[in-house]
Chains A and B, each alone.
Chain A
Amino acid sequence: MSVPIEYYLLLSAFMFIVGVAGVLTRRNAIVVFMSVELMLNSANLTLITFSSFMGNPVGQLFVFFVMTVAAAEAAVGLAIIIALFRNKQTVNIDEINILKW
């Protein structure tokens, strides 16, 4: 027996929404980054699902690239957070607002 495609898609949609909600609501920059990763992974799940259901390898190929990018993005993001933390001693996004208006 196999799991129907809708289940996968619903799961990925749910993950995406959780990711978006995390980006919008969490104060801690690191958690925000984790939420971004969640968004990317939900897209990955969609790609894999379609790829395997259509028997089309392009999607899986894409996922490898996305995972690489996600890793790079996480590395850069953490580095930036560290640089900021050295300057301001906080990682709370709502406190980082000297650039405005």
Chain B
Amino acid sequence: MNFQSLINSLQYIKPEIVIAVVIVLVVTTDLIMGKNKSLLPWISIAGLIVASFFVIEQFSFKAVSSNANGSIGMITADPFGAFFKIIVIVSSIIIVFFSLSSNEIKEAFERHGEYYTLIFGMILGMFFMISSADLILIYLSIELLSLSSYILAGFTKHSLRNSEASLKYIIYGGASSGIMLFGISIIYGLTGTTNLYLLNSFFHLPQFGGFIFWLACILIFAGIGFKISAAPFHFWTPDVYEGAPITITAYLSIASKAAGFALLIRFIKVTFIDSVDASGYWQLLNLIDWKSFLILISILTMTLGNFAALWQSNMKRLLAYSSIAHAGYLLLGLAVLSDQGLIAILIYFAIYAFMNLGAFFVVMIIANKIGSEEIDDYKGLGYSMPFLSFSIAVFLISLTGIPPTAGFIAKLYLFIALVDAKMIAVAVIALLNTVVSLYYYIKVLKNMYLVRPEKEMPAVLVSPAAFAMLIVLLVPIFLFGIYFTPLVNLAKSSIGLMGF
């Protein structure tokens, strides 16, 4: 690889370069501007928009066929990655706006510089996670994301809940990254390479398999499973989500999870694929029964998430469990091991981003107003805050998956993929889980609309900025609930992973 080709290859990481530049910019601006922090969010948003231009460019990158002779490096740039990067960028922009109206963040005004720096650290980590094709880069990007999010989870240092969440997060995260690294080292020992594409060609050789190999695979899966909060690696999720500042909770539940899923999909598809048949089903190498394994994990994840959510009294914690359950649904899409399942995942994520961010956003605004995230304190909100209550009702209904909201479309495509793959029993279990989830979502609505508050609450007005934000989040829910063709087409054109 000569110097010229090295320079040329930089064009494939333009978005990442932009993000890195923004990190530097934020830090220097913070230093130069001193006490005036009001510029930082706008720099962040501008940087994200620039990055999104380069990401959109990546949609047109053709997924090329690999020749497995070592020419593939650490980074891939393909439509699949671009789709997830767009999700990350969109949710990041929304999170920046969230932060502008969050009391928790506003109180720590003097540390806004590090807040935005760390957010961009997370973004950089996620971008590399999404496009990495090498175990080294996978490990490093996960760590980059994790380290930034550990700090952000405890951002308001003075709150005990914050620092507890942060400590639990780092202990759990440190342990699972150690486990994953050990798995990687075993794989490296077995093959002598860390590149996923080369690993795939190694795995075609007949001598692979055996206990050590399985151990390594499970250990690596544990590391990724921690990021997407798949059972039984999900236990940190509710505690961290409840304790962290709500902007970070929302961010972790969307962006970090999206990156984790992109990584998991790429890892499984690139490393273990044998061939893709005509109808889009992936024939995996006969090394590990990933299909049954993923089905088992996903059913466990959604069931645990939904059941534990039933008795939650804290809104953030409830949404944490619900996001675990949603990770279970998403894993089912992967467990189908087909292009159709992948399309379902992409659609689901795009919609999930809006509804989950929306739900967290409303919870945050309500917490700003009434100073509580407890569901019991939501009594009668339907009367004192009609618009906020309407919005959260829409988001929760969409999370349940009831038409005409977009959540229905997300679930519909998932179930179609399952039924097409003849996984009827699994589909039924997922459907029953949805029914269970209806119970706790509706409980919130019941509290808001059917229960009279103990004391009369004055009518509360929503600030124009928050109103605009909610409209931005509500429109896709209805739009994609009815006119979902463009989203489906986008997802269909984004399933090209590099090499396939």
Contact = CB atoms under 8 A, between A and B. Distances in A.
| A and B associate in one complex | yes
Interface of A: 9, 12, 16, 19-20, 23, 29, 32-33, 36, 39-40, 42-44, 46-47, 49-51, 54, 56, 58-59, 61-62, 65-66, 69, 72-73, 76-77, 79-81, 83-84, 86-88, 93, 96-100
Interface stretch (B150-158, B453-461, B478-486): B150-158
Interface stretch (B61-69, B165-173, B444-452, B488-496): B165-173
Nearest to A48: B185
Contacts of A39: 175, 178-179, 181-182
A84 B243 contact: no
In this complex, the member of B147, B165, B171, B179 whose beta carbon has the largest number of chain A beta carbons within 10 angstroms is: B171
A23 B175 CA distance: 7
Nearest to B150: A76
B171 A43 contact: no
Contacts of B243: 99
B30 interface: no
Given A69-B140, A87-B160, A99 B178 contact: no
B185 A56 contact: no
Interface of B is mostly: helix
A29 B154 contact: no
B99 interface: no
Nearest to B151: A76
B7 to A, nearest CB: 22
Contact of A99 (B170, B193, B239): B239
B374 interface: no
B154 A83 contact: yes
Contacts of B238: 99
B139 A84 contact: no
Contacts of B210: none
Contacts of A77: 150, 170, 174
A63 to B, nearest CB: 9
Contact of A50 (B157, B159, B178, B189): B189
Contact of A61 (B136, B160, B239): B136
B174 A73 contact: yes
Interface in B212-250: 238-239, 242-243
Given A46-B186, A80-B154, A73 B147 contact: yes
A6 to B, nearest CB: 12
Interface residues of B, number: 40
A56 B178 contact: no
5 tightest A-B CB contacts, nearest first? A39-B178, A46-B185, A50-B189, A36-B174, A43-B181
Interface of B: 136, 139-140, 143, 147, 150-151, 154, 157-161, 163-168, 170-171, 174-175, 177-179, 181-182, 184-186, 188-189, 192-194, 238-239, 242-243
Contacts of A43: 178, 181-182, 184-185
Contact of A83 (B143, B163, B186, B193): B163
Interface of A is mostly: helix
B386 to A, nearest CB: 32
B146 to A, nearest CB: 8
A59 B181 CA distance: 12
In this complex, the member of A72, A97, A99 whose beta carbon has the largest number of chain B beta carbons within 10 angstroms is: A99
6 contacts: A16-B178, A23-B175, A40-B181, A58-B188, A88-B160, A93-B171
B188 A50 contact: yes
Contacts of B186: 46
Contacts of A9: 189
Contacts of B182: 16, 39, 42-43, 46
A79 B166 CA distance: 10
Nearest to A85: B163
